[in-house]
């Protein structure tokens, strides 16, 4: 399978594999820098990564990928052995680059270093310069983890691509009134950005590139043609693009004011209108934008009013955070009531989040829920029995939870909605998103809870209730290793 082909799987397999792989990944695998690096490289259709390290590093993501849409089919590896770790591996890297080109014929090879290659201090730049004389493609090397950010290695690859492919002095032909849409490489990018592209073009703003959306090497070269980058959060490589080519960026979300719902959660009718008008202001298209946004928003609001008639006043229990996810849309756009907020903090704490930070998140969630007329019961690390009892006693109509937990509520006869699937596939800036959410919620409330007999036959841990007790023991071992290795901060 070539690097730019997407495998075709049934929805059932995608759902099952995605759930299982994320559980296993979270409990039994340190992501390491090559995890984030591979996410970035795999999103470039004509690029191939070259893992500069032992075979275990090259096979890590094959044994335990992030999901069925992130299989990383091509991960050639230099296969470092003890001898190279003593005497150096630059010659082996050069040969690896040449062999990778001869086998895959890509437009771009990205060398991804690993911990062993970092320890021996190979001169990657020298090896790459020598190898480029023998291949007919671009070769870029990542510096590993010099650029901080999560997941480790992801931002570093992007900065390396920018620095080595787009140097100072490049001649750029600008595209007037054009923008780049910067996204995280997930498989639902068309669904997430289709409406935004339509609205921007109706305003008179052209989309130069969507990065990432079947992105090629040529698309990377063309990025500086835009006059503005639009991103969800500030990214290190966008700072460099601003400095080098004078292309500023507008971030639709910001961490500067983490207690402001509009800053941290930019979704919904009013926030979407504000963002489109802000983009228009930056490009001098305000007058045209006001008419377009008003028409689009009004049409969507009329449909939303009709679709939420059966949702207003319905009670929802939200698992895993309210303020940052779709919980805010439930009370603000749908008119639903937050009855229970459920927090399972073990994973966050083992990833390095302090208790004060967790308390602040919970306090913000409660304040926002109260602002929209809800007084939810708050449960922190409840047992499965305590959780189910609170949901029933509060007469909750629907549980909003990650897909890995859904079967537990269905097994108790409680309807549930997959928050992670909605986040990955549908949550976006635009006026159609709340309408789609209302339709999905109505279907979830009408659909009887589906029991999973096979899953229900297993024993589950008292607190980590989506895992078998023996898996929890293994999870604890790996978390202890991770904490000792990097202070408990799993993703950098």
* pLDDT tens by residue, 413-422: 999 999 988 9
Work out how many domains the chain is built from and give that number: 4
Instruction: Check whether residue 112 and residue 191 sit in a common domain.
Output: no
Q: Are 283 and 155 part of one and the same domain?
A: no
User: 135 and 183: one domain?
Assistant: no
d(CA 309, CA 299): 17
Contact 7, 70 (CB under 8 A): no
Q: Which of the listed residues 280, 300, 320 is the one where a domain comes to its end? A: 300
> Residue 2 domain-assigned?
no
Domain assignment present for residue 172? The answer is no
Contact, 440 vs 449, CB < 8 A? Answer: no
Residues 319, 446 within the same domain = yes
Task: Specify if 406 maps to a domain.
Answer: yes
Contacts of 179 (CB under 8 A, 6+ apart): 200, 205, 206, 207, 208, 226, 227, 228, 229, 230, 279, 283
Domain shared by 324 and 414, yes or no: yes
> pLDDT tens digit string along 97-156?
999 999 999 999 999 998 888 888 889 999 999 999 999 999 999 976 566 666 678 889
Domain span holding position 394: 312-454
Domain shared by 272 and 414, yes or no: no
Residue 291 lies in a domain: yes
Residue 66 has pLDDT above 70, yes or no: no
Q: Transcribe 140-192 into DSSP letters.
A: EE--SSSS--SSTTHHHHHHHHHHHHS-TT------TTEEEEE----TTHHHH
Q: Tell me the CA distances in angstroms from 278 to 268, 392, 474, one per residue in order.
A: 15, 44, 49
Q: Is residue 94 part of a domain?
A: yes
Res 268: pLDDT: 94
Q: How confident is the model at residue 6 (pLDDT cuts 50, 70, 90)?
A: very low
Residue 3 lies in a domain: no
CATH number at residue 44: 3.40.50.1980
pLDDT in tens, 435-481: 999 999 999 999 887 776 676 667 777 666 667 777 777 767 666 66
Tell me, yes or no, whether 474 lies in a domain.
yes
Q: Which of 28-42, 103-117, 257-271, 340-354 has the highest mean pLDDT?
A: 103-117
Q: Are 134 and 259 part of one and the same domain?
A: no
Of 105, 109, 46, 107, the closest CA to residue 77 belongs to: 109
The answer to whether residue 434 scores a pLDDT higher than 70 is: yes
What mean pLDDT is reported for the chain?
Answer: 84
Q: Residue 207's beta-bridge partner residues?
A: 179
Residue that terminates a domain, selected from 165, 186, 211 = 165
CB count, 10 Å around CB of 422? 20
Domain boundary among 120, 135, 165: 165
Residue 145 and residue 34 share a domain: yes
How far apart, in whole angstroms, are the C-alpha atoms of residue 82 and residue 95?
18
- Please indicate, yes or no, whether residues 211 and 65 belong to a single structural domain of this protein: no
Mark whether 350 and 239 lie in a shared domain.
no
Higher pLDDT, 29 or 239: 239
Residue 5 lies in a domain: no
Query: Are 448 and 318 contained in the same domain?
Result: yes
In this structure, the answer to whether residues 465 and 361 fall within a common structural domain is: no
């Amino acid at each position: 399978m070539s690097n730019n082909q997407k495998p075709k799987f049934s929805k059932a397999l995608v759902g099952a594999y995605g759930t299982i792989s994320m559980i296993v990944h979270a409990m039994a695998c340190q992501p390491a820098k090559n995890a984030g690096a591979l996410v970035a490289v795999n999103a470039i259709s004509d690029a191939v990564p070259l893992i500069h390290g032992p075979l275990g590093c090259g096979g890590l993501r094959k044994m335990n990928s992030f999901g069925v849409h992130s299989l990383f089919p091509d991960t050639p590896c230099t296969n470092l052995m003890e001898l190279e770790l003593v005497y150096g591996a630059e010659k082996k890297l050069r040969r690896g680059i040449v062999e990778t080109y001869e086998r895959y014929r890509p437009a771009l090879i990205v060398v991804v270093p690993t911990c062993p290659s970092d320890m021996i201090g190979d001169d990657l730049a020298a090896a790459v310069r020598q190898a480029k004389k023998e291949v007919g493609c671009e070769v870029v090397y990542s510096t590993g983890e010099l650029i901080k950010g999560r997941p480790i290695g992801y931002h570093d690859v992007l900065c390396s691509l920018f620095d080595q492919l787009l140097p100072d002095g490049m001649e750029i032909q600008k595209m007037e009134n054009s923008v780049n849409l910067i996204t995280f490489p997930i498989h639902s990018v068309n669904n997430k950005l289709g409406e935004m592209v339509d609205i921007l073009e109706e305003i008179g703003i052209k989309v130069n590139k969507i990065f990432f959306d079947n992105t090629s090497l040529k698309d990377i070269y063309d990025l500086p043609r835009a006059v503005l980058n639009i991103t969800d959060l500030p990214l290190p490589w966008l700072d460099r693009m601003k400095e080098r080519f004078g292309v500023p960026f507008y971030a639709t979300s910001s961490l500067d004011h983490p207690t402001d719902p509009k800053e941290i959660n930019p979704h919904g009718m009013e926030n979407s209108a504000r963002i489109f008008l802000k983009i228009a202001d930056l490009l001098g298209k305000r007058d045209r934008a006001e008419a377009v946004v008003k028409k689009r928003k009004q049409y969507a609001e009329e449909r939303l009013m009709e679709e939420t008639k059966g949702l207003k006043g319905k009670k929802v229990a939200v698992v895993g955070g309210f303020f940052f996810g779709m919980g805010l849309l439930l009370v603000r756009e749908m008119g639903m009531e937050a009855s229970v907020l459920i927090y399972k903090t073990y994973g966050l704490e083992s990833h390095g989040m302090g208790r004060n930070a967790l308390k602040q998140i919970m306090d913000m969630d409660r304040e926002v829920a109260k602002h929209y007329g809800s007084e939810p019961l708050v449960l922190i690390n409840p047992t499965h029995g305590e959780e189910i009892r609170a949901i029933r006693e509060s007469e909750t109509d629907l549980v909003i939870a990650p897909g890995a937990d859904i079967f537990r509520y269905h097994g108790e006869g409680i309807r549930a909605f997959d928050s992670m699937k909605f986040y990955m596939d549908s949550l976006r800036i635009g006026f159609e998103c709340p309408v789609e959410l209302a339709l999905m919620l109505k279907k979830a409330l009408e659909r009887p809870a589906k029991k999973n007999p096979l899953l229900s036959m297993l024993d589950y841990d008292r607190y980590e209730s989506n895992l078998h007790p023996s898996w929890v023991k293994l999870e604890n071992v790996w978390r202890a290793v991770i904490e000792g290795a990097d202070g408990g901060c799993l993703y950098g």
